[in-house]
Every structure is written in structure tokens, then in C-alpha cells.
Amino acid sequence: MKHVFALFSDATAAEEAVKKLSESGLDTTKARIHSKQTIQDETSVRAMPGANPVSSTGAVHAGAAGGTAAGPGVGAVMTDDTIEGYLQGIGVDGDEFAFYMHGIKGGGYIVGIDVSNDEAEKAAAVLSETGGKVPQAE
């Protein structure tokens, strides 16, 4: 299993990328869009007794945090540590970490998908073709 990520500037572009991943034949049930809002929602919901809407990838499923009595994101404090922990939880590491940390802090959207090793190049190509940015190799 391999995690493939790309950074998008807005939600519409990120959603279009997931659509294109699906059209290319990849299993998008393992694709997630991550943003400041998903991090904030996850943090809020995790603080509620008995709540655990988080998938095995660390991403909040769509709508999972939405219907809380307190409302989405209420009470969550967005810190660098919160963002860092979230990114580590979804599989961002190594040289990519600073790139995606900066992207999320700047209001970007990360599209992530878990694919087999054989599908990783295809997923990366689709994300790139739809405008996704990835860290440049040094």
C-alpha cells in the first residue's frame, strides 16, 4: 500500500481531482480531501466522549463531524502540533512533510489516496494532470 498526495489551492480543484481519480479506474473509497477544516473537525469530534468518526487513514469521513451539538470545529484549537499530528496520521512524512504542512497552513487542500504500489504512478499522474502540486525533488 502506498500513500499518494497532492496539494490543491481550493476545494473545487481537489474535488475535481478525486473525480478524475475515479474516472481513471482507481478505487476512490480510499481517497480523502484534507484541509484546515477537516483537521479542526477531527480535533473537535475526538474531544467528544464516545466519538470516533476517523477512518484508518486518519481522515474524517465526509459529514462525520458535521451534526454535532456544538457545531463543526467549535472548541478546536488549530496549532502547528495539531496539524503535524494529523499529517503524520494520514501518512505524510519525510521530505514531503514541510511542503504539506505549509500548504495546509496556507489554506490549501491535500488530496490523498491509498493505492497499491503498482497504481502509485497512475494516481500521481492523475493528481498532477488535474493541477495538484507535489514537493520538488532536491
Per-residue pLDDT band for 48 (boundaries 50, 70, 90) equals: low
Tell whether 75 is covered by a domain.
yes
pLDDT tens sequence across 13-29: 999 999 999 999 999 99
Indicate the range of 4-8, 57-61, 91-95 predicted with least confidence: 57-61
- Residues with Cβ within 8 Å of residue 6, at least 6 apart in sequence: 17, 110, 111, 124, 127, 128, 132, 133, 134
Number of domains the chain is built from: 1
Give CA separation, 16 vs 44, 102, 109, in Å: 27, 22, 12
- Which residue range is the domain that position 27 belongs to? 2-129
Tell whether 61 is covered by a domain.
yes
Tell whether 58 is covered by a domain.
yes
Predicted structure pTM score: 0.78
